[in-house]
Amino acid sequence: MNKNDSERMESILQSMGLKSVEKMEDADVILLNTCSVRESAENRIFGHAETFLKLKEQKPHLVVGITGCMPGRDVKQAMKSRLHGVDLYFPTKDMIMLPKWLSELNPNLRPIDLDKDYLSVRPVHNNSFQAFVTIQTGCNHFCTYCVVPFARGTEGNRSLESILGEVRDLAVHGCLELTLLGQIVNHYIAPDPKFFSKKNPYTKNDFAKLLWEINNVDGIERIHWTAPHPLYMDDEVIDALTLPKQVNYIHLPVQSGNTEILKKMNRRHDREFYIDTVKKIREKKPNIGLGTDIIVGFCGETEGQFEDTLSLYKECDFDISYNAQYSQRSGTVAAKMFVDDVSKIEKKRRWERLQVVMEEITFRKNQLYIGVEVSVLVDICVDGVCGGNSLEMKRVNFPGNEHLVGHIVHVRINHITEWILSGEMI
């Protein structure tokens, strides 16, 4: 989502007549789009600010701005006070003010008029065959460890007309693969449902309806979405996993395998509910790739509770997991109510144990691909080696040339590692 926001800001800057440069020393405007998920991400911003302060001594007209989740949650401006030499400090939704602010700071930068909703700004895409499409932003769930509701606000759903308009435009310009984005993407509720087709087979879940609509856009070949919540994986959304253009992968965050910890996290589901949801998904689509997010060392997590996470991981047989050591974020419910009492050493030990289990399972599952033909959207080619994702979001490498970039090809796998499938193009 941060990447998609950066693409929108680039579009705004281009519309003002600005163009990107390779070296920051050549820039007239520098924007940092920040993430607040972990403390380490925010700490890096302070280091960058010192670098830019020195640069401004040589270029007094340089405009430095910080946006994204960090300013969004810094209500009391405590972090801003440590950022010397920063001219603009604003949350994501205020990016539509950039033309006005930049022209005030530097009269040579011409202002333009923008709509009030930043999601109406069409992003600049790095290539023509892949695109992120934001359908929703913010969150109402307030998981106790999470800064998103504070950084991005409560849930807001983009208009169906606007989403379908952007998707159709992308298809006309050669886009093959879409990734739909939302804080809880499968909780999308259309503010303008009249734009759903009367032929739509889904009747209850607006997100499932949206997936069906996009499946019927000519030119789009692959549809991916992230990140859903287990609570909203109802029968219609699960059925939508079988739509013809849907990738054969779903990323379904669990965060912990212990019901008590899940309750402390305010995840609103227990261990059994999550496992049952995975079973329903695999009943509908047996060979689907499954990923998740897990936090180890959350407040008060015992060794036994961590073992529950390990056992859930094995039972769900995930293909991949993005594992994090719990990082307390100021302003969250967890920071106010719980004690961060699992040591850094213990967090790291649990993280390493989970990584080992993940790599063992991933390697075992990848062996099933040897001799199998997979569909690959080629997104890179360097020194005669092409790479791209399969429908299961497995990374695939094979010999080829740069003319294959942006095309979907078929590759027969003949070698595997934990994270790379290798083969020959058919």
Strand 156-157 relative to strand 136-137: parallel, antiparallel, unpaired? antiparallel
Find the farthest-apart pair of alpha carbons in the chain and give their distance in angstroms, rounded: 63
3-state secondary structure of 64: strand
Prior bond of 227 cis (ω within 30°)? yes
Strand 408-416 relative to strand 373-382: parallel, antiparallel, unpaired? antiparallel
Place of tokens 């850094």: 344
Q: Which of 33-37, 75-79, 133-137 has the highest mean pLDDT?
A: 133-137
pLDDT of residue 299: 98
On whether the CB atoms of residues 289 and 319 are closer than 8 A, the answer is yes
**In DSSP terms, which residues pair with 250 in a beta bridge?**
290
How are strands ordered across the β-sheet holding 29-34? Answer: 29-34, 63-68, 88-89
Please indicate, yes or no, whether residues 189 and 304 belong to a single structural domain of this protein: yes
CA distance 35 to 82: 17
Q: Which domain covers residue 95, as residue numbers?
A: 2-118
Helix 2-15 with 98-105: angle, nearest 10 deg: 60
**For the domain that residue 77 is a member of, what is the CATH number?**
3.40.50.12160
The H-assigned helical ranges of 2-141 are: 2-15, 39-58, 69-73, 98-105
Q: Which of 1-10, 87-96, 309-318 has the highest mean pLDDT?
A: 309-318
The backbone torsions φ and ψ at residue 124, rounded to the nearest 5 degrees and listed phi first, read: -85, 130
pLDDT of residue 122: 83
pLDDT in tens, 170-229: 999 999 999 999 999 999 999 999 999 999 999 999 999 999 999 999 999 999 999 999
CA distance 298 to 391: 33
CA distance 108 to 112: 13
Please indicate, yes or no, whether residues 146 and 9 belong to a single structural domain of this protein: no
Average pLDDT over residues 272-291: 98
Side-chain-side CA neighbours of 287 within 13 Å: the count stands at: 8
pLDDT confidence bin for 36, thresholds 50/70/90: confident
Please indicate, yes or no, whether residues 281 and 134 belong to a single structural domain of this protein: yes
Mean pLDDT for all residues in the chain: 94
CA distance 288 to 153: 33
- Joined together, the tokens standing for residue 211 give 């997936």
For the chain, the distance separating the N- and C-terminal CA atoms, rounded to the nearest angstrom, is: 35
Closest CA to 137 of 56, 224, 72: 72
Please indicate, yes or no, whether residues 257 and 153 belong to a single structural domain of this protein: yes
**For the domain that residue 157 is a member of, what is the CATH number?**
3.80.30.20
CA distance 136 to 190: 10
Strand 395-399 relative to strand 421-425: parallel, antiparallel, unpaired? parallel
Please indicate, yes or no, whether residues 209 and 338 belong to a single structural domain of this protein: yes
CA distance 340 to 197: 50
pLDDT in tens, 144-174: 999 999 888 899 999 999 999 999 999 999 9
The backbone torsions φ and ψ at residue 201, rounded to the nearest 5 degrees and listed phi first, read: -75, -20
| Helices H / strands E in the chain, number of each | 13, 16
Please indicate, yes or no, whether residues 30 and 108 belong to a single structural domain of this protein: yes
pLDDT in tens, 236-258: 999 999 999 999 999 999 999 99
Please indicate, yes or no, whether residues 206 and 261 belong to a single structural domain of this protein: yes
pLDDT of residue 112: 75
The H-assigned helical ranges of 74-140 are: 98-105
pTM above 0.85, yes or no: yes
- Joined together, the tokens standing for residue 5 give 């926001």
- The yes-or-no verdict on residue 116 having pLDDT over 80 is no
pLDDT of residue 132: 96
Please indicate, yes or no, whether residues 152 and 202 belong to a single structural domain of this protein: yes
Q: Where are the beta strands (DSSP E) in 38-168?
A: 63-68, 88-89, 130-134, 136-137, 156-157
Q: Structurally, how many domains does the chain consist of?
A: 3
Please indicate, yes or no, whether residues 323 and 195 belong to a single structural domain of this protein: yes
pLDDT of residue 107: 83
pLDDT of residue 75: 81
On whether the CB atoms of residues 66 and 89 are closer than 8 A, the answer is yes
- Cα-only R_g, the chain: 23
Strand 395-399 relative to strand 408-416: parallel, antiparallel, unpaired? unpaired
Instruction: Choose the final residue of a domain: 315, 340, 363.
Output: 363
Average pLDDT over residues 16-22: 91
Please indicate, yes or no, whether residues 351 and 257 belong to a single structural domain of this protein: yes
Q: CB-based contacts of 398: which residues, under 8 Å, 6+ apart?
A: 376, 385, 386, 387, 411, 422, 423, 424, 425
Please indicate, yes or no, whether residues 231 and 208 belong to a single structural domain of this protein: yes
pLDDT of residue 114: 76
pLDDT of residue 261: 98
- The burial of 337, by beta-carbon neighbours within 10 Å (0-12 exposed, 13-18 middle, 19 or more buried), is given as exposed
Please indicate, yes or no, whether residues 202 and 322 belong to a single structural domain of this protein: yes
pLDDT of residue 35: 87
pLDDT of residue 214: 98
Closest CA to 157 of 210, 215, 83, 104: 210
Instruction: Choose the final residue of a domain: 58, 85, 118.
Output: 118
